[in-house]
Chains A and B, each alone.
Chain A
């Protein structure tokens, strides 16, 4: 794979997260290279969401190095992600229920310019912002929903809008939190295609329960169990790894 030689966009080393006495993650190492889709799997409670929360700043790690675009730096706060060309979707809907579809996307696109107070108070949305928000929705086939309140969207539609918001800033890295969760077969097929299409420009880190989706779209997979990394490799390698099979059988699920 050509991306193997390229420097990673995102690299994590020795990540340890502790909640009180409980070690949620210990000594996790992870890399995401340009053009890659990397899956994070593991039984419930393995630490997948905590890993995402650490990367996106909702959880403060006790230990760990964070390297972004080749430069080691402090862990990000959630509001800094967009500015660093990172986006994250949330499990479930993850939209502002009170706002319209268009406003939901606009809220993310306007971040860069909200920095000065004067601009924030007096500045309206300029034409370029509006166009970007519109295009992002168009790309997700939701342009016709622009004026609809998020609270009245169907579940699959709200997932599309959430994706439009995550992609409107053209991020280099996208953290996808269970994109296929709650979707039907047809929408899952659409989601797989979408992931395939966007990975050219946006590298993806993916947490997903649907194993068929993970095995199909991911270039590499990390397997967590009880907060520890028990395997990593290509879908083929991971599928045949005895430790992975044991972890999944042990928790009553199938790999």
Chain B
């Protein structure tokens, strides 16, 4: 076995792969947060709740569809509808109510915390506060090369591929379609967007729907590697948030890179320092990024105008 400075090469590669896999999930969550931030300037704490409901719906649908992959599609559709509904029926009326008041900036964020609590409570009532298993046909056992088995499993591979596909899809939509142009345009200057003929309210609903779909992919892909409970995606929200901040909150590419960087960082901390500091590390990284480069690695310097 190859050793460099006494550290086993296999362990490094393994840690790297695991990091990329968990990082892909963080990227998806970060992407969801960035999409909402870009379309409505709201940090959506309810994203974890929306993803949980979508994942439960995927889990339920699997009982009837008998196919994990179809159930992932159901979860994605559910996530998109839920995201659109939260924007259309809660966030938009709320924003109209508080417009111009001192609470205009903070009330929507507090509301997302409220929605998170509400969704968790409802999920607990429907599915109980217990752990259930949402299983994938792919093995959770690591790949074996000759006599060595690594920690990276086919499900991990599916996570990486799935996240990459979602990221690529959003990159294409954002950069090469009319919808993407409208999404990018309306993020900061709704007045100008309206004068350019863009229906900003509709674009915002689409932004939330896209975010909900991305969050659902994250939930449905990561859950087979663990368990499903009303709280099981809470840590993912924290990681996604840190990843989004690393990436600059405004940047889709930043969210992708931020997630993978964070995932790899966590994997190495877990491997070489210990599980007890991983969670702590998330917050240290968060505060460090905010202090040193508040606009994130892909963000622009200077304040926002909106």
The B interface is mostly helix, strand or loop, or mixed, namely helix
Stretch touching chain A among B71-79, B130-138, B176-184, B263-271:
B176-184
**List of B residues within 8 angstroms of A121 by Cβ:** 173, 177, 179
How many residue pairs at the A-B interface have CB separations less than 8 Å?
87
Q: Which of B192-215 contact A (CB under 8 A)?
A: 192-200
A residues contacting the other copy or chain, number (CB 8 A): 37
**List of A residues within 8 angstroms of B173 by Cβ:** 121
Q: Which of A79-102 contact B (CB under 8 A)?
A: 79-83, 87-88, 90, 94-99
**List of A residues within 8 angstroms of B181 by Cβ:** 99, 103, 106-107, 110
Smallest distance from the beta carbon of A253 to chain B beta carbons, Å? 27
**Interface pair A124/B176, CB less than 8 Å apart:** yes
B residues contacting the other copy or chain, number (CB 8 A): 24
Q: B261 in the interface, Cβ–Cβ < 8 Å?
A: no
Q: B149 in the interface, Cβ–Cβ < 8 Å?
A: no
**Interface pair B196/A120, CB less than 8 Å apart:** no
- Say yes or no: A165-B196 contact (C-beta < 8 A), given A98-B187, A114-B179, A121-B177: yes
Q: A56 in the interface, Cβ–Cβ < 8 Å?
A: yes
Smallest distance from the beta carbon of A4 to chain B beta carbons, Å? 30
Q: B101 in the interface, Cβ–Cβ < 8 Å?
A: no
**Bound-state Cα–Cα, A165 to B198, Å:** 13
Q: A186 in the interface, Cβ–Cβ < 8 Å?
A: no
Smallest distance from the beta carbon of A74 to chain B beta carbons, Å? 16
**Interface pair B176/A120, CB less than 8 Å apart:** no
Q: B276 in the interface, Cβ–Cβ < 8 Å?
A: no
**Interface pair B191/A90, CB less than 8 Å apart:** yes
**List of B residues within 8 angstroms of A94 by Cβ:** 189, 192, 195
Q: B188 in the interface, Cβ–Cβ < 8 Å?
A: yes
Of the candidates A83, A112, A114, A124, which one forms a contact with B182 in the assembled complex, judged by CB atoms under 8 Å apart? A114
- Say yes or no: A88-B187 contact (C-beta < 8 A), given A110-B178, A114-B182, A124-B176: no
**Interface pair B184/A114, CB less than 8 Å apart:** no
**Bound-state Cα–Cα, A78 to B190, Å:** 10
Q: A113 in the interface, Cβ–Cβ < 8 Å?
A: yes
Q: Which of B248-306 contact A (CB under 8 A)?
A: 300, 305
**Interface pair B198/A90, CB less than 8 Å apart:** no
**Bound-state Cα–Cα, A112 to B182, Å:** 13
**Bound-state Cα–Cα, A227 to B194, Å:** 26
Smallest distance from the beta carbon of B35 to chain A beta carbons, Å? 15
Q: A187 in the interface, Cβ–Cβ < 8 Å?
A: no
Residue among A78, A82, A95 facing the most chain B CB atoms (10 A cut-off): A78
Q: A155 in the interface, Cβ–Cβ < 8 Å?
A: no
Q: A119 in the interface, Cβ–Cβ < 8 Å?
A: yes
**Bound-state Cα–Cα, A119 to B200, Å:** 17
- Nearest residue (CB) in B for A121 is B179
Q: Which of B141-185 contact A (CB under 8 A)?
A: 173, 176-179, 181-182, 184-185
Smallest distance from the beta carbon of B45 to chain A beta carbons, Å? 25
**List of B residues within 8 angstroms of A110 by Cβ:** 178, 181
**Bound-state Cα–Cα, A78 to B198, Å:** 9
**List of B residues within 8 angstroms of A108 by Cβ:** 195-197
**List of A residues within 8 angstroms of B191 by Cβ:** 58, 78, 90
**Bound-state Cα–Cα, A82 to B195, Å:** 7
**List of B residues within 8 angstroms of A139 by Cβ:** none
Q: A111 in the interface, Cβ–Cβ < 8 Å?
A: yes
**Interface pair B178/A123, CB less than 8 Å apart:** yes
- Say yes or no: A79-B177 contact (C-beta < 8 A), given A87-B195, A90-B195: no
Of the candidates A78, A79, A125, which one forms a contact with B178 in the assembled complex, judged by CB atoms under 8 Å apart? A125
Of the candidates B177, B187, B300, which one forms a contact with A124 in the assembled complex, judged by CB atoms under 8 Å apart? B177
- Say yes or no: A107-B196 contact (C-beta < 8 A), given A97-B188, A98-B188: yes
**Bound-state Cα–Cα, A56 to B196, Å:** 12
Smallest distance from the beta carbon of B258 to chain A beta carbons, Å? 19
Residue among B178, B181, B193, B198 facing the most chain A CB atoms (10 A cut-off): B178
**Interface pair A122/B198, CB less than 8 Å apart:** no
**Interface pair A79/B182, CB less than 8 Å apart:** no
Of the candidates A81, A98, A99, A151, which one forms a contact with B197 in the assembled complex, judged by CB atoms under 8 Å apart? A81
Q: Which of A43-87 contact B (CB under 8 A)?
A: 56-58, 77-83, 87
Smallest distance from the beta carbon of B34 to chain A beta carbons, Å? 13
**List of B residues within 8 angstroms of A106 by Cβ:** 181
**List of B residues within 8 angstroms of A120 by Cβ:** 177-179, 182
**A-B pairs with beta carbons under 8 Å apart, 12 shown:** A81-B197, A82-B197, A90-B195, A96-B189, A97-B305, A99-B185, A103-B185, A107-B181, A111-B198, A114-B182, A120-B182, A124-B176
Residue ranges of A at the interface with B (Cβ–Cβ < 8 Å): 56-58, 77-83, 87-88, 90, 94-99, 103, 106-108, 110-114, 119-125, 151, 165
Top 6 A-B pairs, shortest CB-CB distance: A111-B197, A78-B194, A82-B197, A108-B196, A120-B179, A107-B196
